[in-house]
Chains A and B, each alone.
Chain A
């Protein structure tokens, strides 16, 4: 059996393993909750992880463009970018796909259906996805700072508009932006 076929056939199992490994990056009580609660609004982080990991895996398998992969990556990284993770841990969840692949494919390798070389090739493809996670992370952090500045400006925006109107007699477009 060829590796792509195995990766397709074992999709639900691999994603489930990956999901399990990713939620295990949270403290044990939290991980338990993220795994168990199925209501998407009662467990928004768990839901985002499920949707994101599934989308990333499917896209990865099909070899889609980064642009197509982006929304799924964004769904997860946007959350981890504001949680209590260092940057490496926030994006490192992608590498856990390697661990999930190894765990799931080990029996196939032992049976000789898949070679270690095949697995290493798959690993190199995971690395590419990892790079995308860095891009998304950096963008989220940039957005955070931009929004924070915008919020501070909004707090006194009307005062500035008023002051400038007193001086110039009109509201300048730059004051309203």
Chain B
């Protein structure tokens, strides 16, 4: 019979992790935490370097022979091209203000996810090869040699940053660590080290027009499917048009809304709204993607993908572009488009044809956010809404990182929500608006092979949802981003079961009273509306035959 261990024996067990410095702690590629390598065909489509079959798990990453020279030359070029990069690399005093603001650090506990340390991964190389003190004093001043291990470490950690920019809010110098991540990824890209999820999506978008890679006829078919569903629920057949020249407005949504659950209900909401107000708009099967995975790949790819939306707007001769509920699409439009492909002076300054409101903020990009457009319609009393149709929902709102921190876009979606549903509760102040926590899957991380990592990164967001779920019974997390709609359901299933995820325009679609509609018996998801659509002879609860 085994005996219970003596306490003295137990004392010999050391539970503490080794205290190695960050430079001496190599990366371990454990499955569930990293992204698969890009397939050569995707790199070839985008004309990116070093297409080959490889895997981060393998010892040999099949880097080009002169990989070191390529990287250092690439860094040199970028230091000259982006003054911000040089500034960000030089001015950090390692005060630590950003350290505990990253959702990946909070969820994983891995110190290399502290934004300051993630930036040090690149900064240490910059010091060694581009500063005099670093060249002379080396490790003493935080410099280190560029080795293959460093490249591997970059791949691991630059793809554990969702470029959400929460850390940048707290930096007293205004360092934007997302920019460092973006350039770190670009440098890796020079060696052909891209993850499949981002580059395959970007290649699809470049070749076909959307990230999912759905051909024009299939895109049209899926929209028709939405039209059928809307008719089943409302009795009204909406009639979207495709590639129609001379339409007033080109509408572009993230493709996730057309193909994926639950984004598709948001897409139905858009179509219902446009029909109801009689909007003169068209969809495009070529510019069938609002998202831009180029943002996660390189500046050049971002520019190419962004250009197609404007080329299509020009070809169709529309006045301006209306954009759907997307996250990073709006960062690209708001912060990069104008100097990258703009100004779009062949389009007109956007004016709502229904209310006459001029969207002066979109004067240069000519692209208006649908929440802004819809909030304006509600403000002018142009929509007949029955919020009681959403009474089964107790709603909270997740501010998507890009619209909130890249656009300062806080109130419009809340204004819509408060008009289309009657139970709305905010999450704690330090987790919303500009302080919002990322879903943990943005910036090309929403693959399935890194599922565990996503659960870590999303934990701080889920923790705040858990709070309102327990306190107010919140059962719906509303958002205005297609990646959120794809990523948050899984996050909720793991951390806060019982909370569903929906786009704001899905809830609008539920509440929208359309002219000539039949009595609604279900929500857009086909769930029965309480007290409505009972079959003949069916009893109401609590009533008997007498």
Q: Are A27 and B222 in contact (CB under 8 A)?
A: no
- The listed residue (B110, B262, B467, B495) touching A30 by CB distance below 8 A is B110
Contacts of A148 in B (CB 8 A): 448, 451, 490
Given contacts A25-B15, A45-B107, A96-B15, contact A158 B264 (CB under 8 A): yes
Task: Find residues 118-177 in chain A having any chain B CB closer than 8 Å to their own CB.
Answer: 119-120, 123-124, 143-144, 147-148, 150-152, 154-159, 161-162, 165
Contacts of B109 in A (CB 8 A): 26-27, 30, 34, 45, 83-84
A79 contacts the other chain (Cβ, under 8 Å)?
yes
B452 contacts the other chain (Cβ, under 8 Å)?
yes
Q: Are A147 and B493 in contact (CB under 8 A)?
A: yes
Contacts of B495 in A (CB 8 A): 78
Contacts of B262 in A (CB 8 A): 154
**Per-residue A-contact encoding for B102-136, CB less than 8 Å = 1, 0 else:** 00011111110010000000000000000000000
Q: Are B110 and A37 in contact (CB under 8 A)?
A: no
Q: Are A26 and B455 in contact (CB under 8 A)?
A: no
Given contacts A43-B106, A158-B222, contact A98 B100 (CB under 8 A): no
Q: Are B459 and A79 in contact (CB under 8 A)?
A: yes
A59 contacts the other chain (Cβ, under 8 Å)?
no
Q: Are A152 and B100 in contact (CB under 8 A)?
A: no
B83 contacts the other chain (Cβ, under 8 Å)?
no
Given contacts A27-B110, A147-B493, contact A41 B11 (CB under 8 A): no
Q: Are B11 and A44 in contact (CB under 8 A)?
A: no
Q: Are B7 and A119 in contact (CB under 8 A)?
A: yes
A86 to chain B, nearest CB (A): 9
A96 to B16, CA, bound (A): 11
Task: Find residues 407-456 in chain B having any chain A CB closer than 8 Å to their own CB.
Answer: 428, 430-431, 448, 451-452, 455-456
Contacts of A48 in B (CB 8 A): 463
Closest B residue to A24 by beta carbon equals B16
Closest B residue to A46 by beta carbon equals B106
Contacts of A102 in B (CB 8 A): 7, 10-11
B4 contacts the other chain (Cβ, under 8 Å)?
yes
Which of A39, A42, A43, A120 has the largest number of chain B CB atoms within 10 A? A42
A33 to chain B, nearest CB (A): 5
B99 to chain A, nearest CB (A): 8
A116 to B456, CA, bound (A): 41
Contacts of A123 in B (CB 8 A): 4-5, 7
Contacts of A9 in B (CB 8 A): none
Q: Give the number of residues in A that approach B within 8 Å (Cβ atoms).
A: 53
- The listed residue (A29, A144, A152, A158) touching B114 by CB distance below 8 A is A29
Task: Find residues 81-103 in chain A having any chain B CB closer than 8 Å to their own CB.
Answer: 82-84, 89, 92, 95-96, 98-99, 102
Q: Are B111 and A30 in contact (CB under 8 A)?
A: yes
Q: Are B15 and A158 in contact (CB under 8 A)?
A: no
Contacts of B10 in A (CB 8 A): 95, 98-99, 102
Given contacts A28-B19, A34-B109, A124-B4, contact A154 B261 (CB under 8 A): yes
A39 to B330, CA, bound (A): 31
Contacts of A161 in B (CB 8 A): 225
- The listed residue (A21, A25, A162) touching B222 by CB distance below 8 A is A162
**Per-residue A-contact encoding for B311-322, CB less than 8 Å = 1, 0 else:** 000000000000
Q: Are A26 and B17 in contact (CB under 8 A)?
A: yes
Contacts of A21 in B (CB 8 A): 15
Tier of interface size on chain B: 35 or more
Contacts of B106 in A (CB 8 A): 42-45
Contacts of A29 in B (CB 8 A): 99, 111, 114
Contacts of B222 in A (CB 8 A): 158-159, 162
Closest B residue to A127 by beta carbon equals B4
Contacts of A159 in B (CB 8 A): 222, 259
Contacts of B486 in A (CB 8 A): 151, 154-155
B183 contacts the other chain (Cβ, under 8 Å)?
no
B154 to chain A, nearest CB (A): 18
B344 to chain A, nearest CB (A): 32
A33 to B486, CA, bound (A): 31
Which of B106, B110, B490 has the largest number of chain A CB atoms within 10 A? B106
- The listed residue (A34, A44, A82, A98) touching B460 by CB distance below 8 A is A44
A161 to B467, CA, bound (A): 35
Contacts of B489 in A (CB 8 A): 151, 154
A42 to B98, CA, bound (A): 12
A148 to B493, CA, bound (A): 10
Contacts of A34 in B (CB 8 A): 109
Contacts of B264 in A (CB 8 A): 158
A82 to B257, CA, bound (A): 29
**Per-residue B-contact encoding for A48-79, CB less than 8 Å = 1, 0 else:** 10000000000000000000000000000011
Task: Find residues 353-409 in chain B having any chain A CB closer than 8 Å to their own CB.
Answer: none
**Per-residue A-contact encoding for B1-19, CB less than 8 Å = 1, 0 else:** 0001101001101011101
Closest A residue to B106 by beta carbon equals A44
Contacts of B463 in A (CB 8 A): 40-41, 44, 47-48
Given contacts A37-B100, A41-B464, contact A98 B221 (CB under 8 A): no
Chain A contact residues, CB within 8 Å of chain B? 21, 24-30, 33-34, 37, 39-45, 47-48, 78-79, 82-84, 89, 92, 95-96, 98-99, 102, 116, 119-120, 123-124, 143-144, 147-148, 150-152, 154-159, 161-162, 165
Ordered by A's residue number, 20 sampled pairs between the chains whose C-beta atoms are within 8 Å are A24-B15, A27-B110, A27-B111, A29-B114, A41-B430, A41-B431, A45-B106, A47-B463, A83-B109, A84-B110, A95-B13, A96-B15, A120-B4, A144-B494, A148-B448, A150-B493, A151-B486, A155-B259, A156-B260, A158-B261
Q: Apart from A30-B111, A44-B460, A96-B15, list 11 A-B contacts with CB within 8 A.
A: A27-B110, A33-B100, A41-B431, A41-B467, A42-B100, A120-B4, A148-B448, A148-B490, A155-B260, A161-B225, A165-B225
Chain B contact residues, CB within 8 Å of chain A? 4-5, 7, 10-11, 13, 15-17, 19, 30, 33, 99-100, 105-111, 114, 221-222, 225, 259-262, 264, 428, 430-431, 448, 451-452, 455-456, 459-460, 463-464, 467, 486, 489-490, 493-495
